[in-house]
Chain A
């Protein structure tokens, strides 16, 4: 008994050591992020110092910013996901939510797709930008400012294998979509596509946000 208590004390002492990964994580990731950014800045600086024209590099920057902002149409391989409400007759009105597609299905799938390296996404032809909402209002889901009804078609450009693997956890465990397909008859389909074309996203008029002045 005495020995067990003492052993527990020894174990407690050794298990109370700080979690190295947790303690270091905020720094290591920030360091990775800073190193990547600094490399990019250094490359740009080298180009200027080698005599590259500022106007030419500005054009390259503009194109990259347009791509990142989602303000230009893009094409590439990827994945097409279709979600649709069930066509089955609803026998139990309390279960009506099991037969329809909810905003959180779209939101969680989109979040998982970005996490899996998606480069551009559109839902029902509405390109997603940093400010696009996926918001349910009654029987429709607003994708940005456009009210969309089912079926919801998510088109994604990216490495299709990574995208398929990346949404597996959300699809199977977080949302349990297989169950809703089998039991309630909703549609959830994924197809790998060799070329997807996505339209440009809407660029809002910025009325209140202004660039921070240099030196601030």
Chain B
């Protein structure tokens, strides 16, 4: 028997063989688990992508439906309504945010995409919006969301939410703020009061901010707000 011929090495050889066998088996099992995890991961990514695609399609379909509904409603709205009432609704709609507007203004771009914080957060955002208001802005939007009378800015986990809609992730933030108003006044105030102090902070060494004067178009307020307890004083 070969084992007997090994003599005194028989037992160590046997033990080494057993150990090797166990190690190979463990390695095999672990590799199998790694492969399974990879597979599960791919499946999850595919499932998430599918869900995102479906959500995109649903959003596009709703946008199309909205455009059609708006067109039909406009036809009725414009009939039988005096131009005075229509003008009044349009003008007040600028203040309520329901009227989309255009005009000369500024475009602010803030690039804060980075791996680790601190990040530009809602407080900075509120400060910029507040400064634009002080400088006489007539309409303001942040990342496509019109700032209305009841607009708020908050966090939902890592996501910055405006008007209840997520507009950015804190770690991938690319802010675009637009405002209509006197371009020089808006630019000077926002630069001096809100942006220069940010750039001076050591916390944001790589922050890129550009402010350009241009004609801007600001969308209407999309959030659907209701009045439940507030009543008009007659």
* Contact assessment for A142 and B134 in the assembled complex, using a CB-CB cutoff below 8 Å: yes
* Contact assessment for A130 and B101 in the assembled complex, using a CB-CB cutoff below 8 Å: no
With a cutoff of 8 Å between Cβ atoms, the chain A residues found around residue B59 in the complex are 27, 30-31, 34
Interface string of B117-137 (1 = CB under 8 A from A): 000001100100011011001
B103 in complex: contacting residue of A42, A129, A208, CB < 8 Å: A208
Docked Cα-Cα span, A41 to B72, in Å, equals 9
Given contacts A18-B45, A132-B133, A211-B94, contact A54 B153 (CB under 8 A): no
> Is B16 in contact with chain A by the CB < 8 A criterion?
no
Interface string of A50-84 (1 = CB under 8 A from B): 00011101110111011111111111111000000
* Contact assessment for B133 and A10 in the assembled complex, using a CB-CB cutoff below 8 Å: no
* Contact assessment for A119 and B229 in the assembled complex, using a CB-CB cutoff below 8 Å: yes
Say whether chain A's binding surface is mostly helix, strand, loop, or mixed.
helix
* Contact assessment for A209 and B138 in the assembled complex, using a CB-CB cutoff below 8 Å: yes
Q: A55: shortest Cβ distance to chain B, in Å? A: 5
Given contacts A37-B222, A38-B66, A204-B95, contact A212 B100 (CB under 8 A): yes
> Is A118 in contact with chain B by the CB < 8 A criterion?
yes
* Contact assessment for B34 and A27 in the assembled complex, using a CB-CB cutoff below 8 Å: no
B229 in complex: contacting residue of A13, A25, A73, A158, CB < 8 Å: A158
Given contacts A45-B73, A211-B99, contact A24 B149 (CB under 8 A): no
Closest residue of chain A to B95, judged by CB? A69
* Contact assessment for A157 and B230 in the assembled complex, using a CB-CB cutoff below 8 Å: yes
Given contacts A75-B230, A130-B97, A134-B130, contact A212 B58 (CB under 8 A): no
Interface string of A151-164 (1 = CB under 8 A from B): 00000011100000
Total of A-B residue pairs, C-beta within 8 Å: 270
* Contact assessment for A209 and B180 in the assembled complex, using a CB-CB cutoff below 8 Å: yes
Closest residue of chain A to B147, judged by CB? A130
> Is B173 in contact with chain A by the CB < 8 A criterion?
no
* Contact assessment for B231 and A23 in the assembled complex, using a CB-CB cutoff below 8 Å: no
A31 in complex: contacting residue of B62, B98, B231, CB < 8 Å: B62
Docked Cα-Cα span, A29 to B181, in Å, equals 30
* Contact assessment for B149 and A115 in the assembled complex, using a CB-CB cutoff below 8 Å: no
Closest residue of chain B to A78, judged by CB? B229
* Contact assessment for A206 and B154 in the assembled complex, using a CB-CB cutoff below 8 Å: no
* Contact assessment for B69 and A209 in the assembled complex, using a CB-CB cutoff below 8 Å: no
Q: A148: shortest Cβ distance to chain B, in Å? A: 14
Docked Cα-Cα span, A198 to B116, in Å, equals 44
* Contact assessment for A22 and B44 in the assembled complex, using a CB-CB cutoff below 8 Å: no
Interface string of A1-25 (1 = CB under 8 A from B): 0110011011001101110111111
With a cutoff of 8 Å between Cβ atoms, the chain A residues found around residue B102 in the complex are 209-210, 212, 216
With a cutoff of 8 Å between Cβ atoms, the chain B residues found around residue A2 in the complex are 23, 26-27
Docked Cα-Cα span, A44 to B70, in Å, equals 10
**Of A9, A34, A204, A208, most B-chain CB atoms within 10 Å:** A208
Q: A32: shortest Cβ distance to chain B, in Å? A: 8
* Contact assessment for A31 and B55 in the assembled complex, using a CB-CB cutoff below 8 Å: yes
27 contacts between A and B (CB under 8 A): A3-B26, A6-B33, A10-B30, A10-B33, A14-B37, A14-B40, A16-B41, A27-B59, A31-B59, A33-B165, A33-B224, A34-B59, A36-B224, A41-B69, A45-B72, A54-B81, A55-B80, A55-B85, A65-B96, A74-B231, A119-B227, A119-B228, A131-B138, A157-B230, A206-B138, A208-B105, A208-B182
New A-B pairs, 7, CB < 8 Å, besides A65-B96, A74-B233, A131-B95: A17-B44, A27-B52, A37-B66, A54-B80, A114-B150, A130-B140, A159-B229
